[in-house]
A and B are shown apart, each in its own frame.
Chain A
């Protein structure tokens, strides 16, 4: 397999803006020729959050085909970081070289003159180059172009904020490449301008010391979004979950640009088997090598909690019809993500996605950090649901475009409006129908 095949969907996404006569090979080459340096001191790398920030960033960069150099001390891995293996962070990262995407090397630093430098927390650096700093806390992540006195070291165990900061950083690397490419319209440059400071807060909720027990959760799809969600779940300390994962698909080369639990060696393997294997014992998933087929199928009765990452909209409706309780859906649309959760009685995923989109059957343009945001947002919803602190109804839907997270409306929390013509015919839509029919009769 070649990087060109593996980065096919990323290249397709770039084509939203890049001039038509630039060939795929040239776009691919631009990603592969960026030199990124990641720097951390021992202190910042001695926490699970710091380790997760670095490993997630290197993974997201690698899945764009970008080679990475690491200037970090060797430290013991505090918690497992699948699909990476090994007991030490530096060795595991270097061993991951070219295992995510062909050509995406990870090397130790040897007097590199980088194009971009990412620095963890309050690590001191003496480089003359401008650098980006990843900082944050349990549920909050930030990226800053210059060192500020307020920056803290990564010291916490809870890693949601660190994964946010990694996703913010990966986005800046992507935009750096896009700025080197000729765009169809000069006006589009606004989407790829660097963000001097950007952040995102999923808002903290207390997590019990004994950890989080999710109980039974069914997962519809073993594709990019569910893999990102599970990647995030696997990094949460002291969590337990069991359930099933449904998917009939094999891993293809073009999945490597975003499937966060997948390695080059997994090509042609069943996605569900790859995921179930990487999830290990704390997240016990039974691999079901079939597409979820709804009530008529053997697996028609779903768990009390369901997460859905399929692009196919009728499959989302079927999952919603079969879900006895809570259901979350995440999806991507070019550079944006849509993430929502639906409890019984609330407007359902059919209300939010009411009509099939035939375009979804075509190859979908995607990039690692966008799919990752979709999965991370879904994991946070699952977490909050399990902790009894779901987002309020005015935050039932999140529409987030990570390109310019420095902009005030890059992410919008929205309610979901129930629809009379909901294809799932959910309770909320039935209530609306009765209410509006009554009003029509009175009129």
Chain B
């Protein structure tokens, strides 16, 4: 017989001086807690600028699990804008990441469907040393990541103290950031990098013709002149 142990904790979120309680699981990512906090206050104005702060003045790292971030039951967390999210450091990408990414996109998309992968690395730091190919529905016009897979993925990231550094997906023809891409990045953090590869990634494994963009503090995406603005070889 197995016994389910209730592990949920309650934390207090303060926003605009008002406090609301949130239930969370210790292994849940702080990023997920942050999204819940933004949702319970119904914040629609620049939510990507907000972070959670502890009472010791430190920002709660979003790519940690709640447990690893040291959040205790009953803890009071301040939800407020965080200019720290400016980012700016270039990511160091291990050399096999781009070719293996192309291989995965080509094999899955078969030159006729969009596909996506997520580049990951240690939560603390700027290294990209692996990628995840999500379970997703595909079509020539888009892809939709499976919710259950995504939940499981967040848990795995938390357990392994890793985070998503870059999202990469393909387009049938031209590489650009669509309205959907703008609105629904997997990580809504300023400085987050998104790459769109044209022609279902059927070309050479290179980011030269890719659209590479970075999420700005005003919630808009800024196209970078080249991938080297955001990425350097590890």
Contacts of A313 in B (CB 8 A): 83
Question: Within residues 50 to 70 of chain B, which ones have a CB less than 8 A from any CB in chain A?
Answer: 53, 55-58
Assuming the contacts A357-B83, A358-B218, asked whether A184 and B16 have C-beta atoms less than 8 A apart, the reply is no
A443 at the interface (CB under 8 A from B): no
Contacts of A405 in B (CB 8 A): 17
B155 at the interface (CB under 8 A from A): no
B74 at the interface (CB under 8 A from A): no
Partner of B216, one of A187, A358, A410, A412: A358
B217 at the interface (CB under 8 A from A): yes
Assuming the contacts A188-B42, A358-B217, A405-B17, asked whether A412 and B78 have C-beta atoms less than 8 A apart, the reply is yes
The interface-forming segment of A110-118, A297-305, A414-422 is A414-422
The interface-forming segment of B3-11, B84-92, B132-140, B171-179 is B84-92
Contacts of B87 in A (CB 8 A): 355
A399 near B80: Cβ-Cβ < 8 Å: yes
A414 near B86: Cβ-Cβ < 8 Å: no
In the complex, residue of chain B having the shortest beta-carbon distance to the beta carbon of A338: B80
B46 at the interface (CB under 8 A from A): yes
A356 at the interface (CB under 8 A from B): yes
B45 at the interface (CB under 8 A from A): yes
A399 to B57, CA, bound (A): 10
Tally chain B residues at the interface, Cβ within 8 Å. Answer: 30
* Nearest CB on A from B18, distance (A): 6
Contacts of B17 in A (CB 8 A): 191, 335-336, 400-405, 407, 409-411
B57 near A397: Cβ-Cβ < 8 Å: yes
In the complex, residue of chain B having the shortest beta-carbon distance to the beta carbon of A340: B57
A187 near B58: Cβ-Cβ < 8 Å: no
* Nearest CB on B from A355, distance (A): 3
Contacts of A399 in B (CB 8 A): 78, 80
Tally chain A residues at the interface, Cβ within 8 Å. Answer: 40
**A 320-354 to B, binary, CB cutoff 8 A, 1 in contact else 0:** 00000000000001111000000000000000111
Contacts of B12 in A (CB 8 A): 409
B45 near A16: Cβ-Cβ < 8 Å: yes
A336 to B190, CA, bound (A): 21
Partner of B18, one of A190, A359, A400: A190
A359 near B217: Cβ-Cβ < 8 Å: yes
A363 at the interface (CB under 8 A from B): no
Contacts of B14 in A (CB 8 A): 409, 412
Assuming the contacts A16-B45, A412-B78, asked whether A355 and B85 have C-beta atoms less than 8 A apart, the reply is yes
In the complex, residue of chain A having the shortest beta-carbon distance to the beta carbon of B12: A409
A404 near B18: Cβ-Cβ < 8 Å: yes
Contacts of B78 in A (CB 8 A): 399, 409, 412, 414
B53 near A355: Cβ-Cβ < 8 Å: no
Question: Within residues 148 to 206 of chain B, which ones have a CB less than 8 A from any CB in chain A?
Answer: none
B76 near A403: Cβ-Cβ < 8 Å: no
Contacts of B84 in A (CB 8 A): 354-355
A206 at the interface (CB under 8 A from B): no
A357 near B217: Cβ-Cβ < 8 Å: yes
A411 to B84, CA, bound (A): 21
Contacts of A208 in B (CB 8 A): none
B55 near A185: Cβ-Cβ < 8 Å: no
Question: Within residues 372 to 416 of chain A, which ones have a CB less than 8 A from any CB in chain B?
Answer: 396-397, 399-405, 407-412, 414-416
In the complex, residue of chain A having the shortest beta-carbon distance to the beta carbon of B40: A187
* Nearest CB on B from A242, distance (A): 33
In the complex, residue of chain B having the shortest beta-carbon distance to the beta carbon of A360: B83
* Nearest CB on B from A199, distance (A): 14
Contacts of B16 in A (CB 8 A): 191, 335-336, 401, 403-404
A362 to B218, CA, bound (A): 10
Question: Within residues 249 to 268 of chain A, which ones have a CB less than 8 A from any CB in chain B?
Answer: none
Contacts of B83 in A (CB 8 A): 313, 353-357
B44 at the interface (CB under 8 A from A): yes
A410 to B216, CA, bound (A): 29
Contacts of B44 in A (CB 8 A): 184-185
B129 at the interface (CB under 8 A from A): no
Question: Within residues 1 to 56 of chain B, which ones have a CB less than 8 A from any CB in chain A?
Answer: 12, 14, 16-19, 41-42, 44-46, 49, 53, 55-56
A354 to B14, CA, bound (A): 22
Contacts of B80 in A (CB 8 A): 333, 336, 399
Question: Within residues 75 to 132 of chain B, which ones have a CB less than 8 A from any CB in chain A?
Answer: 76, 78, 80-81, 83-88
* Nearest CB on B from A197, distance (A): 15
* Nearest CB on A from B197, distance (A): 28
Contacts of A412 in B (CB 8 A): 14, 55, 78
In the complex, residue of chain B having the shortest beta-carbon distance to the beta carbon of A188: B42
Contacts of B217 in A (CB 8 A): 357-359
* Nearest CB on A from B142, distance (A): 29
Partner of A409, one of B19, B41, B56, B218: B19
* Nearest CB on A from B22, distance (A): 14
B216 near A407: Cβ-Cβ < 8 Å: no
Chain A residues in contact with chain B, CB under 8 A?
16, 184-185, 187-188, 190-191, 313, 333-336, 352-359, 362, 396-397, 399-405, 407-412, 414-417
**20 A-B residue pairings within 8 Å (CB atoms):** A16-B45, A187-B42, A336-B80, A353-B83, A354-B84, A355-B86, A357-B81, A357-B83, A357-B86, A359-B46, A359-B49, A359-B218, A396-B57, A403-B16, A407-B17, A409-B78, A411-B17, A412-B55, A414-B78, A417-B58
20 other A-B residue contacts (CB within 8 Å) besides A185-B42, A356-B83: A187-B42, A191-B17, A313-B83, A335-B16, A336-B17, A353-B83, A354-B83, A355-B87, A357-B81, A357-B83, A399-B78, A401-B16, A404-B16, A404-B17, A407-B18, A409-B78, A412-B14, A412-B55, A414-B56, A414-B78
Closest 8 CB pairs of A and B: A355-B86, A410-B17, A401-B17, A409-B14, A357-B83, A404-B17, A414-B57, A417-B57
